[in-house]
Structure 1
Amino acid sequence: MELYNAESFRNRDLLDAVIQKKEETKTKEHEEKQKEHVLHMRRTPEITSRPSSRMSSKQTSLQTEQVSKEQSNVTTESVAKNNVSQTINSLAVLCLAASVVLVLDIYVFLMATSDVPDGGFRNGSLLSSVKQYEDVTEVFTAFSTLVMILSSNCVLVCSMQCFIASKVIKTIDGPERAMKYFRECSSSRLVAVVGFFISFPVFLLTLMLCVVLRMKRTPALTAVVVLICGTMLGLLCMVQNIYHWYDEMSTASRGLPAYKDNNKGSDVSRDLNTLV
């Protein structure tokens, strides 16, 4: 019985030792798991914070791009609206000038082609024969008709483009659509504008011929000389303006400055002197 008791105690001690070792290993494994969990929890904020920072930077960049796009849209719309208003105003002024030239030409045509009484304006005039009178009348009729056609074409095109642009500008994206309309119809507008500037010196020639047809020698010579001088002055002004316009457009297309460094101060002082 004593041997049995001693062996049983030994077995119990072995069992206790084995159980303690198992418990110690379990506790160690549990502690290691807890440490790994803590380390994992410490690492996860860093990992999750990076995408958030990236997302925040992306959001800010997208917001700045949207704001810049909105600002650019507002600026382009305001610029387009300003350009449309300036174009409409210039076309309206041109239409008014062409209509005045048209009315004056019709009046001169009716006055020159009226019936001349016998012994009237041809006596003592520059025209010595009936054939010369008829030839001058034919030339006068051709020039006057040309002025009528060019002026009426300018009035028609300018008034039509002003009317259509005023209707288009009220729609969605109206200023941009109106500028597109002006660009697409630029060819007809160019023809109308060039025709108007051609019709003005031709109208002065018709006035000269009307003076020759309807007046006597001395007033006719005086009026013809004055009209020739006025026509030459008008042509020179047109050539000067066209030359400087072409010069400014060519320098702008090449990207050159408007003033040179040496001439800028003198040009500004000259402008101030002319304004005073």
Structure 2
Amino acid sequence: MELYTKESFRNRDLLEVVIQKKEDNKNNHDIVEKQKEQILNTRRTPEVVSRPSSRMSSKQTSIQTEQKTKENNFLTQPENIAKNNVSQTIQSMAILCLSSSVVLLLDIYIFLIGTGDVPESGFRNGSLLTSASQYEDVTEVFTAFSTLVIILSANCVLVCSMQCFIASKVIKTVDGPERAMKYFRECSSSRLVAVVGFFISFPVFLLTLMLCVVLRLKRTPAVTAVVVLIFGTILGLLCMVQNIYHWYDEMSSASRGLPAYEDSNKDEDVNRDLNTLV
């Protein structure tokens, strides 16, 4: 029993010594690896180690701020696009409202002149209208056209001013630009009616002015004014048709994904545009 116990103790001591040596070797190996890693890091980034902490902190803060600004710009890009679209829509509607207001005021003034008392040198002395029945017929047509212009212009002023006012209030709320664009899309039908009514009211206004000239002026100035107004009305209608045609052409080309200029005629078109601008 004594021998067995002595041998067991001896074996245990030997095991402890071996385990301790292994732990020491492992610790030494870890220390050597850490030193190697430090040396490699110093070789890879010598500039970073040599720089002072103040410069490193300033560079890190500048990089962080640049990243934040890029993220903010990426997040706010749709909002900026919607805001630009809303501002452009409001500006165009404001111009349209101002134009229709001018036409409305002029038409009211012409309506008051045309529906006044019969002038002393009216259809009896040197006028294009030779009888009272002709005067009444022309007055009826004049009243109808003038009333139509008043209605169309007033409708355009009402719709455009209302949508501008409501959009300026909606844009101040949370997600304002997106909500304003949604409001414009939902109210596009009334806006289309107002815009079409304005473009119809302008040639009708010229016809109303022509009838007022016939009612109030004598033969020679009336004929001259009527001829000028007829040519002006035809020219305005042709300009409207040309603009609408090219607008429809460009919109259809954009929807089909076609380029703005053909490759063969691109340089010629650009040079021609520059020459016309000069």
The TM-score with structure 2 as length reference comes to: 0.77
Mapped partners of 1:151, 1:237: distance in 2: 20
Mapped partners of 1:157, 1:18: distance in 2: 106
Structure 1 residue 118 displacement after superposition: 4.8
* Residue identity matched to 1:267: D
1:273 paired residue number:
275
Structure 1 residue 125 displacement after superposition: 1.7
Change (3 A) 1:121 1:130: closer
Write out per-residue CA displacement over residues 158-180 of structure 1, whole angstroms, 9 at most, x where no aligned residue.
11111111111222222222111
2:257 paired residue number:
255
Structure 1 residue 248 displacement after superposition: 0.7
DSSP-derived class of the 2:117 partner: coil
Mapped partners of 2:146, 2:90: distance in 1: 29
Q: Is the 8 A contact 1:153 1:192 kept in 2?
A: yes
Q: Is the 8 A contact 2:122 2:218 kept in 1?
A: no
Q: What is the identity percentage for the equivalent residue pairs of Structure 1 and Structure 2?
A: 72
Change (3 A) 1:15 1:273: closer
Greater alpha carbon shift after TM alignment, 115-124 vs 208-217: 115-124
Structure 1 residue 212 displacement after superposition: 1.1
1:230 paired residue number:
232
Change (3 A) 1:24 1:129: same
Within the candidate set 69, 75, 78, 1:76 is matched to 78
Q: Is the 8 A contact 1:122 1:213 kept in 2?
A: no
Mapped partners of 1:119, 1:241: distance in 2: 43
Report which of the two structures shows the higher radius of gyration computed on alpha carbons.
1
Mapped partners of 1:205, 1:232: distance in 2: 11
Q: Is the 8 A contact 2:119 2:216 kept in 1?
A: no
Between the two proteins, the alignment pairs up a number of residues equal to 245
* Residue identity matched to 1:210: C
Gaps of 5+ in 2: 31-66
Q: Is the 8 A contact 1:122 1:216 kept in 2?
A: no
Mapped partners of 2:256, 2:68: distance in 1: 33
Matched, 1:197 2:185: no
Greater alpha carbon shift after TM alignment, 251-260 vs 193-202: 251-260
Q: Alignment RMSD, CA only?
A: 3.1
The TM-score with structure 1 as length reference comes to: 0.77
Within the candidate set 122, 129, 133, 2:131 is matched to 129
Within the candidate set 208, 233, 242, 1:240 is matched to 242
Mapped partners of 1:197, 1:171: distance in 2: 34
DSSP-derived class of the 2:146 partner: helix
Mapped partners of 1:15, 1:113: distance in 2: 138
2:164 paired residue number:
162
Greater alpha carbon shift after TM alignment, 195-204 vs 75-84: 75-84
